[in-house]
Amino acid sequence: MRSPARTVHPMLSSRPAGRFRATAAVLALAVLAVSGCGADSADSAVGGSEAAPVTGSGTDLTSKGSEGGGGAAVTEEQAQQDTAVGAAPAPAAVDSTDVAASVADRKLARRADISVTVKDVDAAATKVRAIASAAKGLVLAESVASESDIAATGGFSSITISVPTDQLDATLDKVAAIGKVHSRNTSTEDVTAQVVDTQSRLKTMQASVDRVRALMLQATKLGEIVTLEAELSRRQADLEALQSQLARLQDSVALAPVEVRLSTDEQVLADAVDDTGFLAGLSAGWRAFTGSVTVLLTVLGALLPFAVAGMLVIAPGVLWLRRRRVSGTDPVPTGGLVPAAAGSGAAGSGVAAQAPTQPPAAS
């Protein structure tokens, strides 16, 4: 018997296909929405403006994307120009900061010299001393020769002062205001390595001295105590030498010596500054020769009184000795018997020596 055929309602057969199409449409809309948001966020990152909220249909998203693309092209060009203009100053600022920090950590010893032509050497030297005192410095050496009546020199002064390093430039400016500057020179020496090395050696030596002192407290035998005391004295001397060396380095960093030359004649300053060349060498050699001759003559002059006194004392004694030696010698006989020759031969033969016959006297 044939079973009756099943009848399917058309609405029931179309429901699964409709659900699938609806799900696909929702997923497509979601993908379009996400892609539109990503494009708007990228445009806002390049152009610097906020992205508009993404709403509406796919047509609105397409139009907004085209507008955002034009704005991105403009802002991209501006960003490139800003980068090209502002790229150079940024590294320079960083480099200058690094250089300033590195220079601040360096230990620099500075010195300077300046030559000034003035009208009155004595008055100018007084002003230089006042400038050094105002800068909380001191005068290390001074040589003033004010001879205004001598046309060749007219007066010359050399003053060496020492001022704090941070006051060096200001001090040079004040000295330059005294008269007309002929020459002005400054030099800087980096002693950072020497300072660091000396500080390290000083720290090591201090620890060594402390160890020796600790051993002395534990020593009980006399021999050990004597040995440790000798070692402590040696290391203490080395420690004090390092401390003195470090103090000199710190003084050279903290204070800057300045040699100030003053004269009423600019040519005198030029001769004092220009110490190179054949003429300068010849002049230096002549000064050395005359200086040597002066020293030799000074020594001879100092020894001459002693030589004269020695001659006055020694000469009579020498004459007396010579006269005594001459008077003490026996005269040679001119006539008479000659004494017999001593010897074994004369004694054995028994022959007496005969005196030479005298010539007969003239009648």
Q: Average of pLDDT values for 156-174?
A: 92
The answer to the question of residue 129 being in a domain is yes
Whether residues 182 and 210 fall in one domain: no
Q: Final residue of a domain: which of 278, 309, 343? A: 278
Closest CA to 257 of 147, 154, 168: 168
pLDDT of residue 257: 94
The answer to the question of residue 359 being in a domain is no
Whether residues 72 and 221 fall in one domain: no
pLDDT in tens, 10-20: 444 445 555 55
Domain count within the chain: 3
Whether residues 123 and 245 fall in one domain: no
Q: Would you place residue 22 in the very low, low, confident or very high pLDDT band (cuts 50, 70, 90)?
A: low
Q: Final residue of a domain: which of 52, 85, 118? A: 85
How many other C-beta atoms can be found within 10 angstroms of the C-beta atom of residue 68? Answer: 22
- Six-digit token pair at 21? 């199409």
More confident residue, 56 or 232: 232
pLDDT in tens, 53-97: 444 444 443 444 444 444 444 455 555 555 444 444 554 555 556
More confident residue, 117 or 353: 117
Judged against a pLDDT cut of 80, whether residue 237 lies above it is answered with yes
pLDDT of residue 167: 92
Compute the distance between CA of residue 112 and CA of residue 187 in angstroms, rounded to an integer: 6
Whether residues 144 and 113 fall in one domain: yes
Strand order in the sheet with 156-164: 138-145, 156-164, 255-263, 108-117, 180-190
The answer to the question of residue 165 being in a domain is yes
Whether residues 232 and 271 fall in one domain: no
Q: Would you place residue 282 in the very low, low, confident or very high pLDDT band (cuts 50, 70, 90)?
A: confident
Judged against a pLDDT cut of 70, whether residue 159 lies above it is answered with yes
Judged against a pLDDT cut of 70, whether residue 51 lies above it is answered with no
Residue 24 — φ and ψ, nearest 5°? -65, -40
Residue 184, CB-side half-sphere exposure with 13 Å CA sphere:
14
Closest CA to 355 of 331, 344, 339: 339
Whether residues 179 and 261 fall in one domain: yes
Q: Would you place residue 21 in the very low, low, confident or very high pLDDT band (cuts 50, 70, 90)?
A: low
Whether residues 137 and 155 fall in one domain: yes
Whether residues 245 and 222 fall in one domain: yes
Q: Average of pLDDT values for 43-48?
A: 45
The answer to the question of residue 311 being in a domain is no
DSSP string, 248-270: HHHHHHHEEEEEEEEES-HHHHH
Reduced to 3 states (helix: H, G, I; strand: E, B; else coil), residue 97 is helix
Of 62-76, 158-172, 199-213, 241-255, the one with minimum mean pLDDT is: 62-76
Of 39-43, 162-166, 175-179, 306-310, the one with minimum mean pLDDT is: 39-43
Compute the distance between CA of residue 103 and CA of residue 110 in angstroms, rounded to an integer: 14
Q: Would you place residue 144 in the very low, low, confident or very high pLDDT band (cuts 50, 70, 90)?
A: confident
The answer to the question of residue 291 being in a domain is no
How many other C-beta atoms can be found within 10 angstroms of the C-beta atom of residue 184? Answer: 14
Share the mean pLDDT of the chain.
Answer: 73
Compute the distance between CA of residue 308 and CA of residue 288 in angstroms, rounded to an integer: 30
The answer to the question of residue 49 being in a domain is yes
Compute the distance between CA of residue 209 and CA of residue 56 in angstroms, rounded to an integer: 87
The answer to the question of residue 182 being in a domain is yes
The answer to the question of residue 79 being in a domain is yes
Q: Which domain holds residue 233?
A: 193-255
Whether residues 182 and 221 fall in one domain: no
